[in-house]
Amino acid sequence: MAQDYEALLKQILEVASAYSNNAAPAASAPAPAPAPAPAACGLEPIPVGISNRHLHLSQADMDVLFGPGYELTKIKDLKQPGQFASKETVTIVGPKGALEKVRVLGPIRKATQVELLLGDSFKLGIKPPTRMSGDLAGSPGATIVGPKGTVVLSEGVIVAQRHIHMTAAEAAAYGVANGQTVSIEFDGPRCGVLGNVAIRAGEGHALECHVDTEEANALAITSDTTFKLIK
Ligand SMILES: [Zn+2]
């Protein structure tokens, strides 16, 4: 009888040990997948890029500001293919004030475009519309002061509309189309939803959501923040 109990106890211990082995996978077993970050539509999270005030220059305007035939000095590649931050800065002047050290982004464009923060517009006394890059018709101008000269811009000052760059294949995967607007929802202590986020899909775009520093600060967004895409 005592032996039966002993055998039974041994069996129970073996079973218990087998269970506990199951509960703690052997070192060779694959590690459990980390909890997924809040992703858009169950896809990879879209990286966030935060833009400060900046400008793009035409060659003609660059010649006036920096000297004939001047070329920008790249200091950092940006995520969008071919785009870069240059070492060059200028001063933007409006009726009420001036902003110094506004960074020039390359490469050269057909038309000069100044992208301000909304707060800048009060300091300068300029009322720029919120627009997509390149949509400059009817926008106000400003005076741009460089080391070699001054350009009086008749139009080209905007506040950038928030947007998401992606390839056509990525647009298909996310179920969105070029030109569509979506909302993006952020978690955290300053959580919130930003609407009117334009999809810019196609050739020459790399997956990245662009907001400006004011939008980022309002919701405590950093480049590591992930968001939920709402269609
Ligand atoms: Zn962008």
pTM of the model: 0.80
Rounded distance from Cα 40 to ligand 1 centre (Å):
19
Rounded distance from Cα 210 to ligand 1 centre (Å):
5
Q: Looking at the domain that runs over 40-47+162-230, which CATH code has it been given? A: 2.40.40
Looking from the CA of 121 toward its CB, the CA atoms found within 13 Å total 18
In the chain, where the domains are located: 40-47+162-230, 52-160
> Could you read off the pLDDT tens digit of each residue along the chain, which spans 231 residues?
455 555 544 554 454 444 444 444 444 555 555 544 444 445 778 999 999 999 999 999 999 999 999 999 999 999 999 999 999 999 999 999 999 999 999 999 999 999 999 999 999 999 999 999 999 999 999 999 999 999 999 999 999 999 999 999 999 999 999 999 999 999 999 999 999 999 999 999 999 999 999 999 999 999 999 999 999
Rounded distance from Cα 19 to ligand 1 centre (Å):
53
Rounded distance from Cα 102 to ligand 1 centre (Å):
17
